[in-house]
């Protein structure tokens, strides 16, 4: 891979990353969105975060298959309790890493 190839890759990636972040802010912020759409968008954060998280916890391999014994899942449950109890982002990250590190040593 030449320097030119690499530059093409990151400029292209930059564009396709920026455009989806930019277009809705630029175009939607000026209009009143219909009520149902605002309600739908309000559910999107919880939906996306869970959709990002769950497959990582309970699937494994390529092609993916179900796996309920991953250390990620075992560490995730107490981490979830900690997050619910403290609502501390920094604390949750640290406790989660510590738990995962301990679990993967035994």
**Contact set for other proteins, span 45-64 (CB under 8 A):** 45-59, 62-64
> Which stretches within the chain are classed as H helix?
3-28, 35-58, 71-86, 89-105
Contact pattern for other proteins over residues 64 through 103, marking x by CB under 8 A: xxx-----x--xx--xx--xx--xxxx-xxxxxxxxxx--
Among candidates 82, 84, 86, which has minimal Cα distance to 95?
82
12 binds other proteins (CB under 8 A): yes
Least separation in angstroms between CB 35 and other proteins: 10
44 binds other proteins (CB under 8 A): yes
Residue 11 half-sphere exposure toward CB, CA atoms < 13 A: 6
């Amino acid at each position: 891979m030449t320097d030119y190839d690499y530059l093409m890759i990151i400029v292209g990636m930059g564009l396709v990353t920026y455009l989806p972040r930019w277009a809705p802010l630029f175009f939607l912020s000026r209009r009143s969105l219909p009520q149902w759409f605002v309600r739908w968008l309000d559910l999107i954060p919880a939906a996306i975060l869970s959709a990002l998280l769950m497959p990582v916890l309970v699937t494994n391999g390529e092609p993916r298959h179900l796996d309920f014994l991953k250390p990620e899942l075992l560490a995730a449950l107490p981490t979830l309790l900690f997050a619910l109890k403290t609502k501390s982002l920094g604390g949750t990250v640290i406790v989660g890493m510590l738990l995962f590190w301990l679990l993967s040593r035994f």
